[in-house]
Structure 1
Amino acid sequence: MKWIIGLLSLWVSVSAIAFPIELAHKYGTLTIDKKPLRIVSVGHVDHDDILSFGVKPLAIRDWYGSQSYGVWPWAQAQLGDAKPILLKPRILDYEAIAALKPDLIIGVSSAMNEKEYQKLNAIAPTLAPPAKYEDWTIPWYVRHLIIGKALGFSALAEQHVTSLQAQLAKTKAQHPEFHNKTAAVAFYYNKQPGAYATKDLRSQFLIDLGFIIPKEIDQIAGDAFYASFSEERLDILNNDVVVWLASKETIESASTAVFRKRMPFYKNKKEYFTGDLVGGAFSFFSYLSIQYLLDEMVPELAVITAKE
C-alpha cells in the first residue's frame, strides 16, 4: 500500500509542474509558460480555491463580511500568517495590482467585462471567467479545476473534486428524508422577498442533497438566477423547507414579517436561518466552504425536515 501512495504522490508532484498549459476563457486563451509564483486574486471567491492548493496570493479582492484579509474562517488555516493586500470589492485598483508585479491574475469568479480584462491582461496574464457559464453561476468544481490547472495542480484539483463529490453523495444517501422534499433558498433585499432559481449555486447545493426547487421560482426568475416578488406572494415559499439567507432577527424585523407569520412554513417551523457565517459559506460556495456547510447546515436541515 505504501508504494502505491508513494507513486500517487509522485504523480501529483509531476503533474504539478506540467507547463506550459493553455486555458480558454470568455475573452480568449491564456498560455502559462511556467509555474506562476506571484498571484493576484480578483475573483470574489477565487482566493478560497487558490488557498486550498497551498498557494498564498499577494492580493485578494474583498467581497463582503469584514473578514481579515477577506478570508473567512473555513479558509483561515490555509492563509496561515500570510498578510495579502486587500483590494476593494467593487472597483478594480489597477495601480495597486500593477505595483505587486504579479505573474498571474486570477478572476474566474469576477464577472469582469472585456474592458476590465484588457486592462488587467496588460499588467499580467489574466485568467477570465469561462465562456460557457453566465456570471455568478460557474459550478464550484469547474472553478476549482480551472484554478488548479492554472496553478499547476490539476491532479490535486481532480482529487479534491472527486473527494467532495463523494462526500456530497454520501450525505445525500445518509438523509433519505431530504429526497423529493421541496425547498427554497429565500432572501429579503431592498424591501422585497425573493428566492434563488435552480441555476444558482445555493439552490444547487440543496438539489445535491435531494431537495427539489419549485418550478414556479424558475418561471418567475426567467433568465436570471433569482426571483423577486411582492410580499403578498410569500406563498411561493410554502415548501417543506425555507432556507433564509439571513439571520432570524433580520427576517423578523423586515416589513414582510406580518405576511410571513400567516404562512404555513412559519407556523410549522420549517425555516432555517443561515446567519452571517453560514450565509457567507453558502454564498462563497467553494471547495473549502462547502465542507463547512456540510458540518453546519445539514444537521439543522435534518431536524427541520423531520418535523411534522
Structure 2
Amino acid sequence: MRKLRAFHKLALLISLLCPIAAKSESFPVEITHKYGSAVVLSEPKKIVSLSFIGHDFLLSLGVVPHALRMWYGTHPYGVWPWAQDALGEGTPIVMRGEIDIEQIAAMKPDLIVGQWSGMTEKDYALLSQIAPTIAPQEAWGDYGAPWAEMHRVLGLATGRQSIAEAQIARIQGRFADIRAAHPDWQGATSVVVWSGSTGAYSSRDIRGQFMAELGFREPPALKEIGLFDSFYKLIPEEVTEPIDADALIWIDAGKNVQRLNSLPLRHTMRAYREGREIYLGMDMSAALSHASPLSIDYTLDALVPLLEAAMDGDPATVVSSSQQAGILPEVQP
C-alpha cells in the first residue's frame, strides 16, 4: 500500500509539473453552456474563478487564477492542503460571499469561469459584458457536473485540453484499478451524509458521483425521497432506511460528533451494528467535496482503507477514522 501511494504521489507531481512547460493549444474556442456560449479568442492570462471548487481544477492545469471565490476553511487564499503546492507563490485575489459584479469588472479579466457557482442568468448577462463567461452546463445544473466534464471545459478554455485529458485518463485509471481490486463493492450501496443535519447527497451530486466511480450505487430508498433530480435530501431523524447503506459516510467540519452519538435511531441501523460507518473530519470531507484532479488522489489514499474496513461487515474491524472521532458502536458479543 505504501509503494502504491508513493507511485500515485509521483504521478501527481509529474502531472503538476508538465503544464508549466506546456504550450497552449489552438484558439479561438467556443464553449456552450446553459445561458448561451463563450468564445475565448486567445489564451487567457487573467482568469476569475467563481466556482467554489473551480480554482482546484485550474491549479491542476498549472493555471493560477487572478481571483478565486473562497468556499470555506481557513487555509491561505482558500486553497486546501492538497492544492497548496500547485498554488506555489501565487497570490490570487480572494472573493467571498455572493458574486460581486462591480468587484469583478474592476479586475478587467479576460475569462470568467463559474461551472459550480450558482450563477444566475442575470449574473451571466452582466458578467458576459465584462469578459467571456462560462456558466454551468444545461445538462448538469448548477452543482451536478461530473468532475471530468468540468475539467474538460477548463482544459479547452485555457488551451490545455491535452493536459486535462491526460489527467482525467490517469485518475479514471486509478478508479478502474480500485474497482477491479474490490469486486464486493460493485453494486453495493453507499451514501454520503452531512452530519450536521442528516442531509444525504444523491447520485446527482459530486460526492455521490465519486462513490459511483468506486462501483457503489445510491440506496433505492434515497431516490424515493424528495425530487428525483435533487442533489441534497434532508432525512427526518425518525427515518433511517435511505441512509442505512452498505457504506455510510458521515462528513463533518469537526463539530457534529455529539449530534451523531445522540441520533435517536442510529443504533437500530445495520450500518451502525455492523461497523459500516465512516467518519470524515474537516480536511477529508472537504477533499471529497471538492472532487478535483488535485483532491481525488488525496481522498482515495485515505478513503479506500476506511472503506475496506467498513465493508467487511464485521463490527470488530475498526474503522480508524470513526474510532478517532468517537462514534464507534459497542461490539456485540
**TM-score computed with the length of structure 1 as normaliser:** 0.89
Aligned counterpart, 2:133 = 126
Aligned counterpart, 2:322 = none
CA distance in 1 between partners of 2:244 and 2:137 (Å): 36
CA distance in 1 between partners of 2:104 and 2:192 (Å): 36
The 3 A distance-change label for structure 1 pair 270 and 247 is farther
Q: How does 1:5-84 map to 2 (within 5 A)?
A: 13=22, 16-84=24-92
The 3 A distance-change label for structure 1 pair 214 and 254 is closer
In the alignment, which of 223, 234, 237 is matched to residue 231 of structure 1?
A: 237
Matched, 1:184 2:187: no
Q: Which moved more, 1:114-123 or 1:255-264?
A: 255-264
CA distance in 2 between partners of 1:237 and 1:27 (Å): 35
CA distance in 1 between partners of 2:238 and 2:192 (Å): 18
**For structure 2, which runs of at least 5 residues remain unmatched after alignment?**
1-17, 315-333
**For structure 1, which runs of at least 5 residues remain unmatched after alignment?**
1-8
CA distance in 1 between partners of 2:198 and 2:26 (Å): 49
Matched, 1:159 2:163: no
Aligned counterpart, 1:170 = 177
In the alignment, which of 259, 268, 273 is matched to residue 267 of structure 1?
A: 273
CA distance in 2 between partners of 1:76 and 1:98 (Å): 27
**TM-score computed with the length of structure 2 as normaliser:** 0.83
Does the 8 Å contact 1:243/1:274 carry over to 2? yes
* Offset at residue 133 of structure 1 (A): 1.3
How far does the alpha carbon of each residue in 1:104-159 deviate from its partner, in whole angstroms, 9 at most, with x for none?
11111112011111121122221111122122100000000001100001111111
How far does the alpha carbon of each residue in 1:159-184 deviate from its partner, in whole angstroms, 9 at most, with x for none?
11111111110111112232232222
Matched-pair identity in %? 37
Q: Which moved more, 1:35-44 or 1:244-253?
A: 244-253
CA distance in 2 between partners of 1:115 and 1:133 (Å): 19
CA distance in 1 between partners of 2:121 and 2:146 (Å): 21
CA distance in 2 between partners of 1:41 and 1:100 (Å): 12
Aligned counterpart, 1:5 = none
Q: How many residues are matched? A: 294
Aligned counterpart, 1:6 = none
CA-based RMSD = 1.9
More helix by share: 1
* Offset at residue 248 of structure 1 (A): 7.3
* Offset at residue 19 of structure 1 (A): 0.8
Matched, 1:210 2:195: no
